[in-house]
Amino acid sequence: MIKATYTTTDKTHIEIIEFIKKRKEKNPSYKVIDLGGGLNGWSADIVDLIIDINVPDSPSTLQMDICDESNYQKILNFVAANGLFDYCICTHTLEDLYNPFLPLKYMPRIAHAGVITMPTIMDELSPVQSLSWNGYIHHRWMFDFLDGKLFIIPKIKSLEAFLGVKMSRIKGTEIKFEWERNIPYDVFMRNYLGPDLRTVASELNKVVQRLNAQARGVYFFRNRHTRSARILMRLVRFVRMKVGIKL
């Protein structure tokens, strides 16, 4: 089971901290793990174990590459000895990873429930860092909620070229997924962008329509796969090169 909420990072942190503190007050043995939370450490006061590639092995931290499946034996051994965690935090982590599918696979194996957060697609399609690119330079994936699942789209320029975003009627710049027992997810075109441009464009257009119908209605599709559009872009590129304007 999974549900999604559009919110903000500050609000999410406050809600998670309050939620876990209340749980620990009722049950002092309530155990919480943070997957990938070693960088800013906002959860350090409420969790029992932080897993990250940049932390040492200690009573409160476990050094792990969560993109490498062989590394998961460390946490599986810990769970086998101590039992499942009650709650798993994974905030602003999956969008950074080259392999976010391993954490999605293993989180239900190490905890009963948890929370996952990341920027919305709207943020990833906006110049939040620079006018030269959209979104955050270190992010590899975009996420939304579709058909009751966490939906993943590769964050690459060729796909972004088809996607546009309107001014949102909702102020949330973060999407929060709350899951229990399992994490249903789907990947755009099963992570295979082919066999041709027309197919990819058609499938992405369908996703945009479904997202708008089911969620916030803030996205639009730019029809850039037609022959006339490609010819026009080539002409613009040629003119820019001739007048010395760099792309």
Q: What is the largest CA-CA distance in the chain?
A: 71
Q: Are 229 and 218 in contact (CB under 8 A)?
A: no
Q: How confident is the model at residue 95 (pLDDT cuts 50, 70, 90)?
A: very high
| Choice among 58-62, 184-188, 211-215 with the minimum mean pLDDT | 211-215
To 10 degrees, the CA torsion angle through 192, 196, 197, 199?
-70
Q: How far is CA 244 from CA 94, 231, 237, 240, 247, in A?
A: 40, 20, 10, 6, 9
pLDDT in tens, 216-233: 678 899 887 666 666 666
Kindly tell me if the per-residue pLDDT of 156 is higher than 90: yes
CATH code, domain carrying 128: 3.40.50
Strand intervals (E) in the chain:
2-7, 32-35, 49-52, 61-63, 87-91, 113-119, 141-146, 149-154, 163-165, 174-180, 185-187, 219-221
Kindly tell me if the per-residue pLDDT of 83 is higher than 90: yes
Per-residue pLDDT at 58: 93
Number of domains in the chain: 1
Look up the domain containing 103 and give its range.
Answer: 2-243
Q: How far is CA 206 from CA 57, 163, 216, in A?
A: 46, 12, 15
The mean per-residue pLDDT over the stretch 40-50 comes to 91
Residue whose token pair is 């003119």: 239
Q: Are 52 and 63 in contact (CB under 8 A)?
A: yes
Q: What is the DSSP letter of 72?
A: H
Q: What is the CA radius of gyration of the chain?
A: 20
In this prediction the pTM is 0.89
